[in-house]
Structure 1
Amino acid sequence: MRLVKVSTCSLNQWAMDFEGNLGRINESIRQARAAGSMLRVGPELEITGYGCDDHFLENDTSAHAWECLAEILSSDLTYGIVCDIGMPVVSDGVRYNCRVFCLDGKILLIRPKKFLANDGNYRELRWFAAWQHHNSVIEYKLPEIIWSKTSQKTVTFGDAYVSFLDTAVAVETCEELFTPSSPHIGLALNGVEIIVNGSGSHHQLRKLNTRIELMQGATHKAGGVYLYANQQGCDGARLYYDGCATVFVNGDMVVQGSQFSLADVEVLTACVDLDAVSTFRGSISSLREQASQHKFMPYVSVDFRLSRPDDSLLLFPTLPILPRYYLPEEEIALGPACWLWDYLRRCGATGYLLPLSGGADSSAVAAIVGSMCQLVIRAIEEGDEQVLNDAIRIGNYENGKVPKSAEEFANRIVFTVYMGSENSSAQTLNRAAQLASQIGASHMDLKIDKIVSALVSLFTSLTGKVPRYKVDGGSTAENLALQNLQARIRMVIAYMLASLLPWVKGKRGFFLVLGSANVDEGLRGYLTKYDCSSADLNPIGGISKQDLRSFLRWCANNLHYPILAEVVSAPPTAELEPIRENYSQTDEEDMGMTYEELSMYGRLRKIFHCGPVSMFKNLCHRWHGKLDPGQVAIKVKDFFRFYSINRHKMTTITPAYHAENYSPDDNRFDQRQFLYNTRWPWQFKKIDEIVERAAKRPVVTEEPTKAEEASKLASGMGVPAAASGNPLVGM
């Protein structure tokens, strides 16, 4: 039997942190060696960190990567173990995203990425070129920093694999797994038995199954061993890389790492049977026929064995396991919490300050911060020294004291404040206080009415006019101005407290202010510019209201914050207008559309790339039997009108955790202008023409079949309820 021990890993790398990244790479190699592995695979661009962005355009970045690799090669770490390391490499003035195979202090092969990720959150073509010379290689001259330490001056560079005495190993980097014609097929037909994938794949709700199914399908179709490594953690921006390193053999998962972890280094080891791969492939006639006809690929021959015949009776192949998936509610509890912890421990802050209104959104943020504290305590109890040291530093523990519970730790690093006004209710005041108590946060409540009155008096002294709320006979402009005034005052107070509370408490550092606008509100623009949505970080800015409601229900039981059950049952309201016997403000009435509808609009706009007319046609089909074309037209026009009116708000939106692929975040993810003709005259005219033609046809009402209803539910695009009320324009 050809049994081989292999290791893959998840590393919490940090963009441009060369010293820290090198330390984590070295530690992963040491752990792989200690486990007896003959092959170690690391994440994509692990030396520099994946999220360097325009730093990749700086020659210093590539130079420092070579310096780090030189340190690895000049040590004894790569002796007796093949190491696949990710870094940028410049060849003939062209920058490539590369995998570097190393063994015994030498470089065996540099393999550039052939297919780059360049949509959604990814801009690899901005910094790198894809290797266009498929099945071709060149001789690459290594920089002086390498040959001065290793005496090696050249290496094979290009689309090739490494052929050892007993097997062959090749690369498929991140995006290449997702492409229609993935390299792993050709590699398998060329006899490559082990395919490694160093990845930089971010977390997104319900995304993990896609990665796992692709690897499962790849090895089930063509056989082989597939090692997947991934970055883990926040490396400096909105994305959280969710780890979950895996090993597959012939369609079976044999190892799965943690998807959300506070650990800096996680190494997974499996024992794989290469004879099982050759047997699997040899038993499929069509695979044999295609392999016999396939074009040969270049390779680098290496006089080294990965298997050890003498150990065949001492080793046992790792047995298959079932994939593990989290519920979306668990993903929300874990992903943003890990992201917040990484940001907090790396930015120098000593805690978070959250304006807590007692509503669903800010309560969800509070629950995520509470989850973060629970994760920290759990990691400390499991013996993670790095987490313990970070917690002691951030929490200002002295004299040998350490965090003992999530609540006690939260009391030191989480501060919440309820900023009420005459328009606030006793219910939200009490809910905020109870939630803060259940989490363990230090909590304050204060009234902002005097500040509001002072600013209104200032305006009156300047103009002679007294603005009034709508319910008191005021105009829309007056009503909005008074609401926005309260919201912006809260932002100013939040930042004052974040700056000065550490001083009051006798602590070092500063607090980061957390925002709490969800992705649907950002899409609609239902937020005040420079209000409490303007913060340092927003952990729910990429999460839909529907998912947040489910999350709050889950938290009530699973995170042991029972007050959240009461929070989620209350109608969402900004509490910025006076409550009257015949009037109470609610978010959905203010917006003129429901949160369910907003999610629908967002997915059609971003994921399905619908403009006004195509969205109208799509919704006429989806809402057939519920709304007539005229009603659908009104809704679609309202959405695009308010979307375009408020698009400018996305230019200043708080950096948000990315979790939903219809995020309107203008900073990185959604590259659309912010100045629109908000009348959409051409598009809306086309909608009107379609409505007019439809009105002339006889109406045929058909009940949807059970199959159609099941299809809608399965796609998550079910029919939203109709909105009511008059839409208002936020400023």
Structure 2
Amino acid sequence: MSILKIGGATVNQTPLDWEGNLKNITNAIEEAKSQGIELLCFPELAITGYGSEDLFLSKWYPEKSLEQLKRLLPYTKDITICIGLPVRIGEILYNCTAVLEAEKVLGVMAKQFLAIDGVHYEFRWFSSWTAGKITTLDFFGESIPFGDIVFDKKGITYGFEICEDAWRGDLRPGYRLKDRQVNLIFNPSASHFAMGKSAHREELVTESSIALNATYFYVNLLGNEAGRMIFDGEILAAKDGKLLLKNPLLSFRPYQVRGFEFSKDAKSLEAIKSVHNKNEEFTAAVCLALFDYMRKSRSTGFVLSLSGGADSSSIATLVAEMVNRGFSELGLDAFLERARLKHEIPSEAPLKGVVKKILTTAYQGSENSSEDTLASARSLAESLGATFYDWKISEEVSSYTQKIEKAIGRQLTWDHDDIALQNIQARVRAPVIWMLANLNNALLLATSNRSEGDVGYATMDGDTSGSISPIAAVDKEFILQWLQWAEKSLGYTGLQKVNSLQPTAELRPREQHQTDEQDLMPYPVIVEIERLAIRDRRKPADIYLILKQELDISPVQLKKYIHKFFRLWSRNQWKRERLAPSFHLDDFNVDPKTWCRFPILSGGFTEELYELDQIDE
């Protein structure tokens, strides 16, 4: 019985960090050798990083990738490695996996189906390879097989489906690999993180092992590689419909290696079980994304305008949890080294000491701010160990207001100037908090969520200001329930005051009792309309007919909510175009640079909303 120890290596790469990327790869190879792994697969585009964007369009970038591939040859004396990189044949660029063995390149396999949905724009850079076609590549004077190739090691035949290839149903290359009696199929991927996606991948891998009559081995990239997309570093193996290997996801380490003993004749293999929790997945993803964004931007920490409300409090908690998880996995010294931080940390309280150095918060109260939110912000910051400041913005608001009143020759009033008087409070908070971020060489964290992005319920150059917007890709209803979960399941008791408050912007006079949902609509309703309008791309009339059956809302009120959503959505595209970069966390988002493109100027769904009004109630 022929046994081959195969392995997957996930790596946390960065575009243009040639030496760092190569070091992760070679360290992973040495780790694999120490585990006795004979055949090792790396993820898609592991040499360059998947998020290289228009660098792929240049001539020199793919050429340098081949030079990096050549530098890997000495590491393959006693191991076979499969690794992803861009390769240009003539004027056409392909997304490829190269197989290296005994200091030679055995061949290069090209991707046949390109991802073009959601966050993916692969057709901008790459071309699809034709099934069954084989040509040659000039690799520094040596002619190498290139195209739709299968390989052999110790009598075991193996081939590849590169990421999107596997998701094409009856068209997928795996069926042709099955016809060629391939025993082992690798899927090197750069599959972005989304809550719930790991469970779908497990289904793909286990079902593929049956449908393709082969052991199926999946390897994904790791980390916040280039800013927005997060990769969870998943490594999976399945045979006969049983999941046999799964690693811990979203690791803070630069690479992970997992091995698996493969045999064509092995029977009665024991399946493993995995658990999926949306809140845990969200937490792990944001924590790693914040860590990578901080260290890759060479920042020394984060600054946050902490209002005491749900959004800013969730972000503060996530930064503290980032430290907690990184500390637990790497240890204090390795955490600080990997984060490029050189802080003196008190030995008696190292965890809170790191949080204090990394996270600086400030409560910026106006005349309309309450003692409740101040107490909430202070209590949370102290419980987390964050640095906390408290100052008033009344003088700045008054100064701007008086200048405008003098210029236009009248006093501003809440009856006539509501939006202007609200927005100036949010805007004057931005310069001073930016100043603090500059002084600390830190990243300013913006606090908008997806529900606010939908309807423009955010002040441009105010609460939208920031270097990164960690929760802009998730809805407010999710954030509110996550805060309850974090208090109970993660033990953040400092969230008690936050969880007792009703969400409010606190921009109008207190006697008006302003709340977010009064300004907009109930957050659960926004979530349902958003799901149908943005994710499923349905028109207003269809949304009404669906939600009329699902929600306990009067038809008249439901129509008003749908009207308001589409009116505000189309009016505020310009705001979404200017939001700080955000992490992709859900199965969709409203970031026009990564998922949802919409015209800045439009007719605002006038005819579609008229059609809605004609439906009998």
TM-score, length-scaled by structure 1: 0.82
CA contact (8 A) 2:118 2:588 kept: no
Alignment-mate amino acid for residue 496 of structure 1:
M
Aligned residue in 2 for 1:579: 510
CA contact (8 A) 2:2 2:154 kept: no
Per-residue deviation, residues 341-373 of structure 1 (Å, max 9, x unmatched): 011111111110000000011100011101111
What's the CA shift for 1:395? Answer: 4.5
Asked if 1:342 is matched to 2:292, the reply is: yes
Asked if 1:569 is matched to 2:495, the reply is: no
Of 124, 127, 137, 1:126 maps to 124
What's the CA shift for 1:270? Answer: 1.2
Moved more, 482-491 or 153-162: 153-162
CA contact (8 A) 1:332 1:368 kept: no
Per-residue deviation, residues 444-488 of structure 1 (Å, max 9, x unmatched): 00011011111111112212211122xxxx22xx11111100000
Per-residue deviation, residues 407-447 of structure 1 (Å, max 9, x unmatched): 11011111000000110111110010010011110000001
Aligned residue in 1 for 2:362: 417
CA contact (8 A) 1:4 1:274 kept: no
Of 177, 181, 185, 2:166 maps to 177
Residues 388 and 563 from structure 1, CA distance in 2 versus in 1: closer, same or farther, beyond 3 angstroms? closer
What's the CA shift for 1:681? Answer: 2.8
**Secondary structure in structure 2 of the residue aligned to 1:445:** strand
Of 657, 668, 671, 2:597 maps to 671
Moved more, 160-169 or 189-198: 160-169
Aligned residue in 1 for 2:39: 39
Residues 38 and 93 from structure 1, CA distance in 2 versus in 1: closer, same or farther, beyond 3 angstroms? same
Alignment-mate amino acid for residue 415 of structure 1:
T
In the alignment of these two chains, the number of paired residues is 616
What's the CA shift for 1:626? Answer: 4.1
Per-residue deviation, residues 153-210 of structure 1 (Å, max 9, x unmatched): 1111111211345110100111112221222233123211111111101111111111
Asked if 1:655 is matched to 2:581, the reply is: yes
What's the CA shift for 1:80? Answer: 2.4
Whole-angstrom CA distance in 1 between matches of 2:395 and 2:443: 26
The 5 A counterparts of 1:315-714 are 319-325=270-276, 327-381=277-331, 386-391=334-339, 393-397=340-344, 405-469=350-414, 474-475=415-416, 478-500=417-439, 502=440, 510-580=441-511, 583-591=512-520, 593-623=521-551, 626-628=553-555, 630-678=556-604, 680-689=605-614, 691=615, 694=616
Alignment-mate amino acid for residue 163 of structure 1:
D
Asked if 1:50 is matched to 2:50, the reply is: yes
Identity of aligned residues (%): 30
CA contact (8 A) 1:520 1:544 kept: yes
Whole-angstrom CA distance in 2 between matches of 1:62 and 1:103: 21
Per-residue deviation, residues 22-75 of structure 1 (Å, max 9, x unmatched): 1111111111111111100001100000100111001121011011111111x1
Structure 2 alignment gaps of length 5 or more: none
Alignment-mate amino acid for residue 409 of structure 2:
G
Residues 169 and 404 from structure 1, CA distance in 2 versus in 1: closer, same or farther, beyond 3 angstroms? farther
Aligned residue in 2 for 1:289: none
Alignment-mate amino acid for residue 432 of structure 1:
A
What's the CA shift for 1:614? Answer: 2.8
CA contact (8 A) 2:454 2:568 kept: no
Aligned residue in 2 for 1:729: none
What's the CA shift for 1:651? Answer: 1.2
What's the CA shift for 1:252? Answer: 1.6
CA contact (8 A) 1:163 1:169 kept: yes
Aligned residue in 2 for 1:158: 147
CA contact (8 A) 1:239 1:658 kept: yes
Aligned residue in 1 for 2:91: 93
Residues 54 and 459 from structure 1, CA distance in 2 versus in 1: closer, same or farther, beyond 3 angstroms? same
Per-residue deviation, residues 604-625 of structure 1 (Å, max 9, x unmatched): 12221112233233333434x6
Moved more, 349-358 or 564-573: 564-573
Per-residue deviation, residues 540-573 of structure 1 (Å, max 9, x unmatched): 1111112112211121133322131331232100
CA contact (8 A) 1:198 1:228 kept: yes
Residues 16 and 402 from structure 1, CA distance in 2 versus in 1: closer, same or farther, beyond 3 angstroms? farther
Of 232, 254, 274, 1:264 maps to 254
Alignment-mate amino acid for residue 344 of structure 2:
Y
Whole-angstrom CA distance in 1 between matches of 2:586 and 2:244: 30
Alignment-mate amino acid for residue 607 of structure 1:
R
CA contact (8 A) 2:160 2:185 kept: yes
What's the CA shift for 1:386? Answer: 4.7
**Secondary structure in structure 2 of the residue aligned to 1:156:** strand
Whole-angstrom CA distance in 1 between matches of 2:348 and 2:207: 45
Alignment-mate amino acid for residue 131 of structure 2:
H
**Secondary structure in structure 1 of the residue aligned to 2:159:** strand
CA contact (8 A) 1:203 1:242 kept: yes
CA contact (8 A) 2:450 2:590 kept: yes
Asked if 1:137 is matched to 2:134, the reply is: yes
How large is the RMSD of aligned CA atoms in angstroms? 1.8
Whole-angstrom CA distance in 2 between matches of 1:513 and 1:140: 47
CA contact (8 A) 1:516 1:539 kept: yes
Residues 402 and 46 from structure 1, CA distance in 2 versus in 1: closer, same or farther, beyond 3 angstroms? farther
TM-score, length-scaled by structure 2: 0.96
What's the CA shift for 1:2? Answer: 1.7
CA contact (8 A) 1:249 1:272 kept: no
**Secondary structure in structure 2 of the residue aligned to 1:275:** coil
Per-residue deviation, residues 482-541 of structure 1 (Å, max 9, x unmatched): 1100000111111011112x3xxxxxxx01100111111101111111112221011111
Structure 1 alignment gaps of length 5 or more: 148-152, 281-317, 503-509, 696-731
Computing the radius of gyration over CA atoms, which structure comes out larger, 1 or 2?
1
Alignment-mate amino acid for residue 19 of structure 2:
E
CA contact (8 A) 2:37 2:79 kept: yes
**Secondary structure in structure 1 of the residue aligned to 2:510:** coil
Whole-angstrom CA distance in 2 between matches of 1:542 and 1:48: 26
Asked if 1:70 is matched to 2:70, the reply is: yes
